[in-house]
């Protein structure tokens, strides 16, 4: 990086030019269409579209379920990452590879598979039904679907940090009289906290926009189990393009803020780790 002012490599104009051209064509111009379309609405029309009781109920559901799903993944993802890096048990390598399944499995497939299991006649649903617990076709089903699609994020952000932790610090803590729980809370946890938070945020951001896996298991009752992406689809099917776009813009703005936050977190994360070494 020292000689950045006299870079001799060719292809800068071509590669950057193509990058910006393609980015504009596929991403930036189409996304700007959403904002331009919304600007044709008056402030009142916009407010009616994005703040009607049914839409507000969908925000609460989407964010609430995403938050719970991401929290489950933070706790059990940390546990999974820990078990995969620290312990040996049969089938570990296969299980490690399968953690990425939610990235590879199409969301529609995940949706119908989860519904089959958690429906009242499914493998788990039939165990819960006698106790009066309904999972599929309720908000709990939405949490299950959002937990599934966010599962790899925390595991995959925490795992490399756990692998790179120096054994010496833990040995030092032990020789100074700390027990394992103290070592975990005072030494290990602070080191992995930024990665855990990053994974949590990634899972949360992914869950907010998720559509395919949720609609099968949700039941999609207005005011009860209707997520915001479904509201957009419903408005589109009623040819209410402006209304659909207004709700989309609200979601886009929230997603952009989350993306900036996550980028900041990752920067913090990498700075901490490079300083530790």
Kindly indicate which of the ranges 48-56, 125-133, 189-197, 240-248 contains the residues binding another protein, using the contact rule CB under 8 A: 240-248
Kindly indicate which of the ranges 43-51, 52-60, 73-81, 218-226 contains the residues binding another protein, using the contact rule CB under 8 A: 73-81
The answer to whether the CB of 71 falls within 8 A of the CB of 197 is: no
Instruction: Kindly tell me which residue out of 51, 54, 60, 108 binds another protein, with binding defined by CB under 8 A.
Output: 108
Angle between helices 43-51 and 53-86 (to 10 degrees): 60
> Which tokens in the block code for residue 189?
């946890």
Q: Of 48 and 162, which has the nearer Cβ to another protein? A: 162
Q: Of 10 and 132, which has the nearer Cβ to another protein? A: 10
Q: How far apart are the first and last CA of the chain?
A: 21
Q: Of 47 and 92, which has the nearer Cβ to another protein? A: 92
The answer to whether the CB of 173 falls within 8 A of the CB of 182 is: yes
Q: Measuring CA to CA, which residue among 217, 34, 2, 202 is closest to residue 110?
A: 217
Distance in Å, CB of 66 to another protein, minimum:
11
Instruction: Kindly tell me which residue out of 68, 252, 272, 273 binds another protein, with binding defined by CB under 8 A.
Output: 252
Distance in Å, CB of 147 to another protein, minimum:
6
5-34: contacts with another protein (CB under 8 A): 7-12, 14-16, 18-20, 22-23, 26-31, 33-34
The answer to whether the CB of 70 falls within 8 A of the CB of 150 is: yes
151-190: contacts with another protein (CB under 8 A): 151-153, 156, 159-160, 163-165, 167, 170-171, 174-175, 180, 183
Q: Of 79 and 223, which has the nearer Cβ to another protein? A: 79
HSE-CB at 110 with a 13 A cutoff on CA atoms is 23
Q: Measuring CA to CA, which residue among 150, 171, 154 is closest to residue 162?
A: 154
Which residue is it, tokens 């497939």? 109
């Amino acid at each position: 990086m020292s000689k950045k002012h006299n870079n001799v490599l060719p292809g800068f104009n071509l590669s950057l030019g193509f990058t910006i051209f393609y980015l504009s064509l596929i991403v930036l111009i189409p996304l700007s269409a959403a904002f331009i379309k919304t600007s044709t609405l008056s402030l009142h029309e916009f407010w009616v579209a994005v703040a009607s009781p049914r839409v507000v109920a969908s925000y609460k559901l989407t964010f609430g379920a995403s938050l719970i799903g991401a929290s489950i993944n933070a706790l059990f993802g940390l546990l999974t990452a820990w078990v995969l890096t620290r312990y040996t048990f049969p089938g570990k390598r296969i299980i490690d590879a399968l953690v990425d399944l939610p990235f590879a499995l199409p969301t529609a497939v995940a949706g119908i598979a989860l519904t089959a299991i958690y429906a009242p006649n499914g493998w788990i649903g039939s165990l819960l039904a006698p106790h009066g617990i309904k999972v599929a076709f309720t908000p709990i089903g939405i949490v299950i679907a959002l937990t599934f699609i966010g599962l790899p994020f925390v595991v995959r952000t925490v795992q490399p940090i756990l692998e790179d932790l120096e054994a010496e610090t833990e040995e030092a803590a032990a020789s100074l009289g700390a027990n394992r729980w103290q070592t975990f809370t005072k030494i290990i946890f602070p080191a992995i906290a930024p990665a855990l938070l990053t994974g949590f945020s990634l899972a949360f951001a992914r869950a907010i926009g998720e559509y395919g896996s949720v609609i099968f298991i949700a039941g999609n009752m207005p005011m009860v189990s209707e997520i915001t992406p479904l509201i957009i689809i419903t408005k589109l099917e009623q040819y209410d393009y402006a209304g659909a776009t207004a709700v989309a813009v609200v979601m886009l703005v929230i997603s952009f803020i989350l993306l900036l936050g996550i980028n900041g977190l990752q920067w913090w994360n990498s700075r901490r780790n490079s300083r530790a070494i």
